[in-house]
Structure formats: C-alpha cells, structure tokens
Structure 1
Amino acid sequence: MNILIIEDERHNANRLQAMVKEIDSEYIVCDILESVADSIDWFNAQPSPDLILMDVRLADGLCFEIFSSCPVTAPVIFTTAYDEYAIRAFKVNSIDYLLKPIHKPELEAALLKFKQLISNHQPDPAIADLIDIIKKQGASYRSRFLIPLNDGYKSVGVEELDYIYSEFKVTHLVAGDRQVYATTQTMDELEEQLDPSLFFRANRQHIISLGIIKDIHNYFNGKLKVAINKYPKAEILISREKAVSFKQWLDR
C-alpha cells in the first residue's frame, strides 16, 4: 500500500514515516510533501496513492486549498491539533482524525480501519463535507490565555502577544509589556490555535506576530533573519523551506 505524507514539519513527517514502517513493512511511503503548492503539483503529475496522511495547516496555507485546486481521490487521515468536537465530527464521517502528538497505537488503529473499509468495499467518505466541518472549526481561533499568576490568574489577550518561544521544552508567551508567561500548550498546539493571518511559525522555537516585525534580512543558505521591535537581542531565523511562505504571508 502506497501512503503519501503531507506534513510541513520534517520531524513530524519522519516520525510518521517511521511508525508506518514499524506497523507494517509492506506499507510504502511514496513521498513526503511540505506545502500546498508542492501537493498540488504532485497530484497533477503523479498517480493517486492508496492513502494520504495529511496535516491540516501547512507552511503556505490550509490543506483545503489542495482539494479545491486539483482532484484528490484517495482516502485521507487528517492530523492536527483541533478540538474534540471536530474530532468527533470526523469519526462520524468514517474517516480518522488524529490529534497531535500522534502515537503509534492510534495510527495503527487508523490504518486498520482504512484496510477494513477497503476490504468491505465501502465508499470513500465525502471529502467536501469533511472540509466544511474543519473550515467551520478552523474559523474560531484562540483569543486569550488564562495564566496562573501568584495567588490568582491573569487573562492575556492574543493581541497583546509579540512573539512566542520554546526553551527547554517550555513554551513562553512574550507580551507587549515585555512580560514573559509560561504556558502549558506546545508550539504545535499554538500554531493550530492562533489566527494564521496574525501569527507565523518561523521555526521550531518561534512564533511571531505580524505587528512585531521590524526588518527582514537575507541570511545564509536561503534563510531569512527577522529583526523585531523592542527586542534587539532576539534572533529569529526563517528556514529556507519556509522563506517563500513567509514572504507570501507578509505580502497578502
């Protein structure tokens, strides 16, 4: 069985590939794609795979753009960090929806479910209906954080955030008053929860807000270096793979 992985975080893609091979040595990952644009080109040039493991949010946009730009006939197992309501909706529609971080037993169960559907000759779920469900869920983004502080809590609105960084496996929110707050969410979770028109995942360690960007400079090996207001010592690099999507994000 040929499986196509569409995932813009290379470490997540490699982990998925390794788990697929561990589950069944006959499963073949035919390719790994990182963006909407690459996926569209791939589907227009290659025969359909048997199954697709697809992240909802990619480096250059949401995966729904793929379905509207080219025919996708293969069944899809979506992977992302949306809330449980969306997950239940996908279960009802007979297609699996795996919440990150994905664990091997969950992936194995999803692949088994796919094989059972194929062996029973059941029709593929309606992709258009599933896309509508995720779009409705994706329209609602996080608006605030409730931060434990001293003997109580503080509410921090997302509009107050300048950038977010991860250090020693702890995620930190940096607000406009230069206050730094630790939060329990991972960077992957926040990437899904924050409005992509306002926030950009620069790399594994940083998410930056649109309003904080001061200057952008070319860097080594096709990377970009971003200087941000109020934080002259912060060094934020955009990887070569994300440089194009970053420029598109700024040019909207």
Structure 2
Amino acid sequence: MKTIILLIILLPLTGFGQIQPKKSPAKRTPLEVNTPSLQDAVSFIDITATVNKISGMALDLGVEGVKKMHPEVLLQFIDTLVANDKNVAFRRLAAKYKPQIKEIYKDLKSFGESDGSFIYTEEDPIPFKFLNAGGLAFCQHGVFSKNTYNTLKLDANQRAKSVAEEIILPGLFKFRPVLAMTGVYNLVFIVSYQVKDFSSSSSVGKDYETLAIVISKETLKNYIDAKTTDGQVFKLASWYNVTKSSGGNVKKVILN
C-alpha cells in the first residue's frame, strides 16, 4: 500500500539590506498558507521516481508479501530511525512529532481490516519524511490499495473518484493526530491502485495508477469535525492523478 502524506510549515520571509532599518518578518496570509502549491506537491510526491516504482514492486510482491510491512511491525523502528537518519532536519522534526507519528500508525492498523488497503514501504523502515522546499514539510507515504478497477467500465476520472470515495476520504480520519502538529499546514495523501482491462484473461492488461490529494490542515480539520462535506472536499482540495495515458506524469484533475 502506498500513501503519501505531506504537511508544509511555511517560514516567514525577512528583508535584507545594510542601510535600511530592520523590518518585521513578512508573514504569509492565511490564503497563501493554506493554498497548496502544485510545484511543491509534485516535488514532494515525486510520483514518477518513487510512487510508481514502489507501486510496481508492491504488485510484484502481491498482497501477502506486502502485508508483512504492517504498521505494528514498523512502529518498533521509529526510535531507531529518528536517532540514526542522516538527514538532520528530518531527525529534528521526526523527534518533535514522534508521539503523533506513533498515534497515526496505531490508527492505520485498521486500514487492512476496513477498506482492503494495507501499508507498504520499500527502503525506509518508517514511511514518514520531513522535507524542505521553501518551508518545512512533513511527508508520510505508504498506502497501496489491493482493489482492481475495471478500465472498460470506468474511465480515468471515474476510477480516481472511486478511489477517493472508497479509500482517501475515509482515510483522512486516520490522520487526526496531524491536527496537533503546530506549523504544519498541508497534507498530501497518496494511494496507488491496480487497473485492468477485464476483456483480457492474462496479466498483460494490468497496470497501476496513483491518486493524490493535497489538502490544507484547516480543511482537514473541518472535514474531521463534520463541518465540511465530501463534495466540498472535492472542490477545496487539490487532486493529482498519474495514469498510463498521462505518460507517468503528475496531472491535476477535477473530481466532482
């Protein structure tokens, strides 16, 4: 299973100049803070290089092989990872948010039981990353759905909406601990899933696609608190899809 979650801490900008008096740090407006950037999202998600590779490996391993990377197993690696990771910024932020990370993983245990999804990670013992791109970002990745969607009955947008309704929207409730992370403003949640031309009996017609939601923490909170509907999340969040027809590139899509 592959999920990616991203949260961005936007840092204040400061003016420079030897003669001019000191200026107060420029602060971003709420709109700037809560509006996800396509450039940042694509940079963080890095779908073509990371998600697709892991998705393909997950397909090769099969459901049972991937299920071995259960959150229950991964939890024991958190303390070791935080202490030994070469990325200093990641170590600092991972240590700061370690309690919330563990809480999220406890919640994610129900993924395999409730919606046919499971956690999968390739190289990292814990699928959480803290990245920096004009501000700090908290990234969690690892959800892969074992469901297979029929390309003959559903077009790419219909498949994406099905994944959004069946996996992503219910999954957002698992990330309630994110709301306690101060300075984190956006979340990226990625799901990779199988698609198949069911007119073919062979595995040749099988492929995989990826859907990502980029949602502000404010919208996430309102959704968890039942102040925002599914339909509003479709409009307020940004959605990105990777399919064979898109050439493996990230494409912004409208789901309604």
TM-score by length of 1: 0.26
1 or 2, which has the higher helix percentage? Answer: 2
